[in-house]
Homo-oligomer: A and B are copies of this chain.
């Protein structure tokens, strides 16, 4: 951030009065430009003993598999965002069942919220951000081709919980690593 989005003046990096961390501040119009973490919301769609995955048609991780998820938009709920992403990426209609995982990714200032969801029909189809969409049994999951660690861990917890006969809510942190 170099310029004030309100008045167009240059911003400086300073600790405002009464604050305790560096912010982008405009000395012309006195606006403090806060920057906050973003939420990624998505679904784990279930159909019988299968789950629905999307193969990414965009970077990052082009060609790898993921659950439908994306950045939450203003003026929607977390569940509405998860349903919207599931429709946009997989053309899939689902019913939300339960918040299943929350992952903190502090190194990129993101929080993932993944909901278990019941797939309502088999009329799904890839949206513009997906190459293909398909259902996988546990033994069919392409574990070495999952796009993101949040998604891999969500899937592993899902199958573990299912074997144990009940789904919990799981919260965890993902730390930076060299891939």
- Identify A8's interface contact among B3, B37, B74, B107, CB under 8 A: B3
A24 proximity list for chain B (CB < 8 A): 5
CA distance A8 to B57 in the complex (A): 33
Residues of chain A having any CB pair with chain B under 8 Å: 1-8, 10-11, 18, 21, 24, 33-39, 71-80, 99, 102, 104, 106-107, 109, 111, 128, 169, 171, 173
Please classify the interface of chain A as helix (H, G, I), strand (E, B), loop, or mixed, using the class held by over half of its residues: loop
What number of copies of this chain does the assembly contain? 2
User: Is the beta-carbon distance between A18 and B73 smaller than 8 angstroms?
Assistant: no
The smallest C-beta distance from A101 to any residue of chain B, in angstroms, reads 11
A2 proximity list for chain B (CB < 8 A): 5-8
The smallest C-beta distance from A172 to any residue of chain B, in angstroms, reads 10
CA distance A127 to B123 in the complex (A): 55
A18 proximity list for chain B (CB < 8 A): 128
- Identify A36's interface contact among B3, B39, B99, B102, CB under 8 A: B39
A106 proximity list for chain B (CB < 8 A): 75-77, 80
The smallest C-beta distance from A22 to any residue of chain B, in angstroms, reads 11
